Amino acid sequence: MIDTHVHVYPPDVIRDFEKISEREDYFSLLSHGKVHKWATVEDVIRQMDEDGIQQSWIFGFAFRDLGLCKHCNDYVIESIKKYPDRLKGLAVVPPLDPKAEEEVVRCAERGLIGVGELFPGGQGFDIDDVRQTWRLVAVTQEANMVLLFHTAEPVGHDYPGKGNVGPREAAQFCINHPEAKVIFAHFGGGLWLYELMPEMKRYLKNARYDIAALPWLYKSKILEAVNSAGIMGKFFYGSDFPILSFERYKEAINGLFEKNRDIKKLFVENVEKFLVSER
């Protein structure tokens, strides 16, 4: 089992989060939310053992400040060195920072496989504006890295960090950059529905989606809908740990295992095929 959506925090970020919150509004919003939880890499490994997860993709918090992002990236780099058989790492950067590309290259050279989870709303950039995204896409494509963006459903209840980046913005990103290997978190805010439109299916060829936060957002039948649409192969399991762990997903997933083997693919096969697929 592979979990592609796991947050980790350096111990000193956890310790000093109140001070950091004074200069990072989005971090303050999420870290003071009632559902927020902290996790170090040791917490992640313990939870993986408990849940039977063989590999997790970990990443730090996507700050506006590049220095804080670098600090998180260093922690992720050291963590995958410590647990090379259990972890893969993604880098975080503020995309509009003039030195963001330099940091992406540094992280790629140290073994990280992607960039994310980036927060367009929290970091102040628009994923549907090609003028703001082309440098990020260019450097990640050159380094053969994947991208992971936070997206959310444009309807329904509000919650801290939901943001306003949904299927329209995510679709425009893919129209601007059909070559980019990109994962849209949280079902892409519903973007997957538009895979059924012939023209969008072409633009979304390299797009993937994770199921992070499923227990809070949807009834489990959404996975049956995804499977009926014929696009289960584009979905990955992501827990959003430490906010949620696999235990919360069992009810939504276990019953479907017996009905269709394709459901099982979201835990391993879909991810592995995505990493080795040609751009």
Q: Decide if pLDDT at 279 tops 60.
A: no
| 234-263 pLDDT tens trace | 999 999 999 999 988 887 777 665 666 666
Which whole number is the average pLDDT over 137-158? Answer: 96
Q: Which distant-in-sequence residues (6+ apart) come within 8 Å of 173 by Cβ?
A: 127, 128, 133, 149, 180, 182
Query: What does the block give as tokens for 255?
Result: 């019953």
Residue 72 parent element (H or E):
helix 66-82
Average pLDDT over residues 76-88: 98
Residue with tokens 């919360």: 248
Taking the CA atoms of residue 133, residue 136, residue 138 and residue 141 in that order, the dihedral angle to the nearest 10 degrees is: -120
Is the pLDDT at 194 greater than 60? The verdict is: yes
Mean pLDDT computed over 148-164 = 93
In order of their start, the domains of the chain are: 2-276 (3.20.20.140)
Cα–Cα dist 39/262, whole Å: 31
Contact assessment for residue 64 and residue 94, using Cβ atoms and an 8 Å cutoff: yes
Interior CA angle at 46 toward 6 and 77, to 5°? 50
Out of 82-96, 129-143, 165-179, 218-232, least confident range: 218-232
Dihedral Cα 151, 113, 8, 13, nearest 10 deg: -100
Look at residue 101 and tell me whether its pLDDT is greater than 70.
yes
pLDDT at residue 276 in the model: 83
Stretch 21-36: mean pLDDT, rounded? 96
| Average pLDDT of the residues in 109-118 | 98
Question: Is residue 141 pLDDT above 50, yes or no?
Answer: yes
